[in-house]
A and B are shown apart, each in its own frame.
Chain A
Amino acid sequence: MVRGRNAGERAGRAVYNLAVAGGFVFMVLPILLVLWLSLFSNEILTFPPDGYSLRWYQGLLGQQQFIAGFLTSLQVAVLATVLGLLVSVPASLALTRLEFRGRQAILQLLLAPLVVPAIVIGTSLYVLFVEIEIATDLPAVGSVVGLSLAHVLITIPWCVRLVTANLIGVNPAIEEAAASLGARPATVVFKVTLPLIWPGIVAAGLFGFVTSFGNLEISLFLIAPGQTTLPIAILQYLAWKIDPTIAAVSAMQILVIAAGLLITDRFVSLSRVV
């Protein structure tokens, strides 16, 4: 970097550095505050704390609501991610490798779940599910399948975006070489294309999983009474009070996601996928 030539430029550089640091601190601050609170020994929020304790983490196993919510969220997120990848990877292949009419329109349609407000998606799916229940007597609202299908919808744009971006980066000459040496189209896809874009597939899976796991606005409409997901359980508790117990629940979620990110980072550098 070029050194400041005068006081004005040095001041400018200081402002820039401060802005960079400020941006990062601002993003991380709420997470650090939650982690800090989860270690307080006093139950009622006061600063500075009376002391530190891990007892809120021990108490987590007795929190039925959060455990049930966590299991539902995990189940739904895994199903939604797998299904999302299964439909999005072939679609991305067609969108980047084949010429056909209406390409742009299909792409816009597949990215649309990111543009339509989530609360509107939730509302309209709720209305549809209730109508399906009335028409068929099958439980749609509150079923894991229904919830998962709704979540597949919101994983599709992330999967399509990340996988097509990776496919565009692959030199088509490699695939053409394989094809001209006699590989069949399916062989080219499985032996050449997919191995080349797998960082994109990992990233798509990660983003899809997290989008589904953290979703609140759509799940809110589609759970039955007595059923919950982790984000909804956290929201409902927070609307009532904030204490070290909810901080410990949040901390567990933060640690699970951080671990997932670090593991992903070992396979594909995070700075390459996002």
Chain B
Amino acid sequence: MTRRGLSAAALLAPATLLVVATLVAPLVLLFRYSLNRFVPGEFMVEAVTAANYIKFFTDPYYLAVLGTTLWVSLLVTVICLVAGFPAALFLARTRTRFKSLLILAVVLPLFVGNAVRAAGWMVAFGQKGVINAILGGLGLITTPIEIMYTTTAVIIGIVAVNLPFVVLTLQSVLEGIDPAPEEAALSLGARPFATWWLVTLPQAVPGVLAAGVLCFILAMNAYATPVLLGGPSFQMMAPVVANEILQQSNWPFGGALSFVLMAVTLTLTAAANLIVARRYRV
């Protein structure tokens, strides 16, 4: 080995070993356990069986949970990209002195944690919450409308959680795009929307992809928001996994659920990367 190779190894070893020990090794162990058999009362019995995976793919309940998780995540991703793009474009192009303050308005929600933001939505959505108080005060409704513990509440909650990630990712890509072609298009008479559609957006495709993938992964993963805003009858994958491991102590099936969740998430994000790469040659 050359001296260069040696020093690279020395610099990389601590971080790499840490990730191997706390990510790769536990995943390997969990995968092995997902092939074991669970016997109630006896905990876990050594075996090599696909029974836990077969149980998942033949039980309509778990398939429905995966289905809900998937369509909620896809919808959230689309909403976040559409809702986040204008704000990101504005942040990337603005020259105001208040830019730091606007960045703070994006970063602060990102940093205060999902549970705190879910608390904010609980204030808005409750039977006696802000929305019902306003609608009632305006005389638009006589009985409070149900928003808490509905799918709508969960979707609004996850969109709000993911939007700052999407805005920041898009903004950093948009800032790297030279505004000169846009200005050229505008000065040659293109309408603003046509300019955005034909000049800005095609250049921003890698950013849209990165932001979309991040948003999708986070939504597939959502824990606090569905637990707090969805209530006991609304189920997504992450709370179901946690319940299986912590309450039921069913490691084999909990492990299988984990790997299904991970495989679905990674396959879809890889597919998105491939499709976009082929279409736009990025």
Residues on A with C-beta less than 8 A from B233 are none
Whether A124 contacts B29 in the complex (CB less than 8 A), given A9-B192, A214-B111, comes out as yes
> Is B68 interfacial (CB 8 A cutoff)?
no
The minimal Cβ–Cβ distance linking A48 to chain B, given in whole angstroms, is 7
B26, B30, B102 pick with most chain A CB within 10 angstroms: B26
What is the bound-complex CA distance between A58 and B254, given in angstroms? 43
- Asked whether B11 lies within 8 Å of A90 as measured between CB atoms, the reply is yes
- Asked whether A110 lies within 8 Å of B16 as measured between CB atoms, the reply is yes
Residues on A with C-beta less than 8 A from B259 are 120
Which residue of chain B has the shortest Cβ distance to A45 in the bound complex? B128
Which residue of chain B has the shortest Cβ distance to A91 in the bound complex? B15
- Chain A positions 170 through 212: 1 when the CB is less than 8 Å from some CB of chain B, otherwise 0: 0000000000000001000000000000000000000000100
- Asked whether A119 lies within 8 Å of B258 as measured between CB atoms, the reply is yes
User: Which chain A residues numbered 146 to 165 have a C-beta less than 8 Å away from chain B?
Assistant: 149-150, 152-153, 156, 160
Residues on B with C-beta less than 8 A from A261 are 104, 107-108, 111
- Chain B positions 252 through 279: 1 when the CB is less than 8 Å from some CB of chain A, otherwise 0: 0011001101100110010000000000
Number of contacts between A and B (CB, 8 Å)?
Answer: 286
The minimal Cβ–Cβ distance linking A119 to chain B, given in whole angstroms, is 4
Residues on B with C-beta less than 8 A from A153 are 18-19, 22-23
Which of B11, B119, B224 is within 8 Å of A34, CB to CB?
A: B119
Which of A34, A123, A262 is within 8 Å of B255, CB to CB?
A: A123
- Asked whether B19 lies within 8 Å of A257 as measured between CB atoms, the reply is no
The minimal Cβ–Cβ distance linking A183 to chain B, given in whole angstroms, is 16
- Asked whether B30 lies within 8 Å of A28 as measured between CB atoms, the reply is no
Residues on B with C-beta less than 8 A from A131 are 29
Residues on A with C-beta less than 8 A from B124 are 29-30, 33
> Is B201 interfacial (CB 8 A cutoff)?
no
- Asked whether B123 lies within 8 Å of A217 as measured between CB atoms, the reply is no
The minimal Cβ–Cβ distance linking B125 to chain A, given in whole angstroms, is 10
Residues on B with C-beta less than 8 A from A235 are 115, 224, 227-228
What is the bound-complex CA distance between A107 and B123, given in angstroms? 42
> Is A267 interfacial (CB 8 A cutoff)?
no
> Is B207 interfacial (CB 8 A cutoff)?
no
The minimal Cβ–Cβ distance linking B124 to chain A, given in whole angstroms, is 6
Which residue of chain B has the shortest Cβ distance to A115 in the bound complex? B217
> Is A113 interfacial (CB 8 A cutoff)?
yes
User: Which chain B residues numbered 98 to 119 have a C-beta less than 8 Å away from chain A?
Assistant: 99-100, 102-109, 111-119
Which of A26, A36, A121, A254 is within 8 Å of B160, CB to CB?
A: A26
- Asked whether A152 lies within 8 Å of B119 as measured between CB atoms, the reply is no
Chain A binding surface SS class: helix
**Number of contacting residues on A, CB 8 A?**
91
What is the bound-complex CA distance between A127 and B121, given in angstroms? 34
> Is B168 interfacial (CB 8 A cutoff)?
yes
Which of A150, A246, A271 is within 8 Å of B100, CB to CB?
A: A271
> Is B71 interfacial (CB 8 A cutoff)?
no
> Is B163 interfacial (CB 8 A cutoff)?
yes
What is the bound-complex CA distance between A24 and B108, given in angstroms? 12
The minimal Cβ–Cβ distance linking B165 to chain A, given in whole angstroms, is 11
> Is B35 interfacial (CB 8 A cutoff)?
no
Residues on A with C-beta less than 8 A from B265 are 117
- Asked whether A120 lies within 8 Å of B241 as measured between CB atoms, the reply is yes
- Asked whether A253 lies within 8 Å of B116 as measured between CB atoms, the reply is yes
Which of B26, B106, B168, B227 is within 8 Å of A239, CB to CB?
A: B227
- Asked whether B114 lies within 8 Å of A127 as measured between CB atoms, the reply is no
- Asked whether B228 lies within 8 Å of A112 as measured between CB atoms, the reply is no
Residues on A with C-beta less than 8 A from B86 are 16, 19-20, 23
Residues on B with C-beta less than 8 A from A271 are 99-100, 103
> Is A250 interfacial (CB 8 A cutoff)?
yes
Residues on B with C-beta less than 8 A from A91 are 11-12, 14-16
What is the bound-complex CA distance between A113 and B245, given in angstroms? 20
- Asked whether A34 lies within 8 Å of B123 as measured between CB atoms, the reply is yes
What is the bound-complex CA distance between A48 and B132, given in angstroms? 11
- Asked whether A30 lies within 8 Å of B120 as measured between CB atoms, the reply is yes
Whether A48 contacts B133 in the complex (CB less than 8 A), given A20-B90, A27-B106, A90-B15, comes out as yes
What is the bound-complex CA distance between A122 and B23, given in angstroms? 10
Which residue of chain B has the shortest Cβ distance to A232 in the bound complex? B115
> Is B150 interfacial (CB 8 A cutoff)?
no
Whether A238 contacts B228 in the complex (CB less than 8 A), given A123-B30, A214-B113, comes out as yes
> Is B211 interfacial (CB 8 A cutoff)?
no
- Asked whether B87 lies within 8 Å of A12 as measured between CB atoms, the reply is no
Whether A98 contacts B258 in the complex (CB less than 8 A), given A47-B128, A153-B22, comes out as no
> Is B143 interfacial (CB 8 A cutoff)?
no
- Asked whether B112 lies within 8 Å of A253 as measured between CB atoms, the reply is yes
- Asked whether B30 lies within 8 Å of A124 as measured between CB atoms, the reply is yes
19 residue pairs from A and B, CB less than 8 Å apart: A26-B83, A26-B159, A26-B160, A27-B160, A88-B15, A90-B12, A110-B19, A117-B238, A120-B261, A124-B29, A126-B245, A127-B29, A152-B22, A153-B19, A153-B23, A156-B19, A220-B246, A242-B119, A254-B108
Which are the 7 A-B pairs with shortest beta-carbon distances? Answer: A30-B120, A23-B87, A47-B133, A124-B26, A19-B86, A94-B11, A214-B113
